[in-house]
Amino acid sequence: MPAADLYSDWDNRYAHRATELPDSFRIDLRGFCMPTTSRVLTSNFGPRWGRAHKGLDIKVYIGDTIRAAFNGKVRVVRYEAGGYGKFVVIRHDNGLETIYGHMSKQLVKENQEVRAGEPIGLGGNTGRSNGSHLHFETRLCGVALNPCLMFDFRNQDVVADYYMFRKSRYQRESASANRLRGVNTSYVASATPSKQEPTASTAKAKPQASVTKNHKVKKGETLYSIARKHGMSVSELQKLNHLGSKSKVVPGQILKYK
């Protein structure tokens, strides 16, 4: 079945609408681009807090560039206060639709053609979100599929040139993909773990060495006032958050502090 035959309409009013899935469908993953350079996953696809989490949460900071995963056409650019926040939906030639949620700014318009790797928005913390991150979904016929089946964020790559979706094997394959490529405590704390990072045993012995907390910037706050509030120097705060000497903070931005 060609990808074009999966969808019978083009409607900008809804983020997704589930229709009948084919028993099997080959998804072409060639020509991809990772939507973000972040390697840190903070939440898996699947059950979470008593409800279904239909995508992956990837740690990004406010203002980070979010890119189209494949060539396609923008179907939805909207704001949803109680859900996705500022989000974009793109329909791709390979049959997938991808959703990018909680952005601080959208950089594309509905019905716009985009290329893989083209900036479509900026990382943010809008909508139903606790801390800046990208909520990333991959859907087939409006049905959410686990992005870990196709994307490996740790290695910034797709898992193969193609993914063969099969109804009969999907649930088992999704659970396996979470174990292989989902949230893992060995790399959630850092995008580039090193041999010097504390192990579980040393973390228990010295909990303060690796503990960081988050501060959500309020209106009127500055790096100086935030650093002073948490007993840090401005340079320490900048270093911890990878900020330049001339960087400014904006309301809603999430900063780490110790």
195 assigned to some structural domain: no
Residues in the chain: 258
In whole angstroms, give the CA distance from residue 84 to residue 82: 7
Residue 15 near residue 84, CB atoms below 8 Å: yes
Handedness of CA 210, 131, 181, 151 (dihedral sign): negative
Q: Do 101 and 229 fall within a single domain?
A: no
User: Does residue 218 belong to any structural domain of this protein?
Assistant: yes
Q: What is the CATH number of the domain that holds 232?
A: 3.10.350.10
* DSSP one-letter code for 70: S
Number of domains forming the structure of the chain:
2
Q: Residue 199: inside a domain, yes or no? A: no
- Per-residue pLDDT at 13 exceeds 70: yes
pLDDT at 247 over 90: no
pLDDT, tens digit, for every residue of 188-236?
A: 333 333 333 333 333 343 333 445 677 877 888 888 788 778 877 777 7
| Residue with the larger pLDDT of the pair 240 and 160 | 160
pTM of the model: 0.70
| 101 vs 98: CA distance, rounded Å | 10
**Does residue 37 sit within a domain?**
yes
Q: Are residues 126 and 159 in the same domain?
A: yes
- Please tell me which of 3-12, 31-40, 242-251 the model is most confident about, judged by mean pLDDT: 31-40
Please tell me whether residues 115 and 236 are part of one structural domain.
no
The answer to whether position 9 is within a domain reads yes
Report d(CA 129, CA 96) in Å as an integer: 25
Helix (H, G, I), strand (E, B) or coil at 187: helix
pLDDT (tens digit, 9 = 90+) per residue, 224-234? Answer: 788 778 877 77
Residue 62 has pLDDT above 60, yes or no: yes
Q: What is the pLDDT of residues 83-99, one digit of tens each?
A: 999 999 999 999 999 99
DSSP conformational letter for 138:
E
CB 92 within 8 A of CB 70: yes
Percent of the chain with pLDDT over 70: 86
Say how far apart CA 257 and CA 17 lie, in whole Å: 41
User: In which residue are the tokens 């049959």 written?
Assistant: 95
CATH number of the domain bearing residue 60 = 2.70.70.10
Asked if residue 85 and residue 121 are part of one domain, the reply reads yes
Residue 250 is predicted with a pLDDT of: 80
Looking at the fold, whether 50 and 166 belong to one and the same domain comes out as: yes
pLDDT band at 140 (very low <50, low <70, confident <90, very high): very high
* Residues 124 and 19 both lie in one domain: yes
Domain range for 216 is 212-257
**Residue 44: what pLDDT?**
86
